Amino acid sequence: MGLAKRVEELYYGFREEHCLQLTHDEFESIYNQIQDGTYKLSPFLVYDVAGKRFYDHFSRVSYFCHRDLRFFPSSTPGYITVVRPNNQDALVLRALAVFLLMLTTDRECNDLDNLFSLFQLNIEKLGDVDRLYRLNVNINFEERLLLLTVKKYVGDGFVFNLVESYLQLPSMVEGGSDLK
């Protein structure tokens, strides 16, 4: 099953349930561009939110962007810097992650959240677990090695180019100027 099919499944599966903020016309445009191999990722959106208003802002961001939402202390006191993809790219990136996971593990899943739920169930079956910790580690990896691995699974066509462009993606501040 191809990337366009994954985008379609996620769109229809999540558009109402998780407040996916895309019109049907926007979805069809994305779907057709992926089918044609012409979809281009947009720069990441970067903006500052006042610390006191951060949670209010966070609740209005599309569910699909929550997974890809990153935030850091801002250079402006009292603010938090938010980095995220736009709604269209959030859908495509989520579908790309599911697509690559399925290619590399031979595992059928409609969304990465399903894997987290399965993980939780397996932990509960262990019975004697008192605490579970999550550790985020910033790993420096060599892009060339990652791309060689991706190429092994998808060849050097559209999906490979999409992954490569993601790794080189610039960021854009709220007013529209490039950061990279």
Strand order in the sheet with 79-84: 70-73, 79-84, 44-50, 171-173
Most confident of 62-66, 81-85, 119-123, 160-164: 160-164
Write the pLDDT tens digit of every residue in 71-114: 778 888 888 888 888 889 988 998 898 888 888 776 666 556 56
Write the pLDDT tens digit of every residue in 1-58: 689 999 998 888 777 665 567 888 999 999 999 999 999 999 988 888 887 777 676 6
Of the candidates 91, 71, 77, the residue with the CA atom closest to the CA atom of residue 27 = 91
Q: Considering only CA atoms, give the Rg of the chain.
A: 18
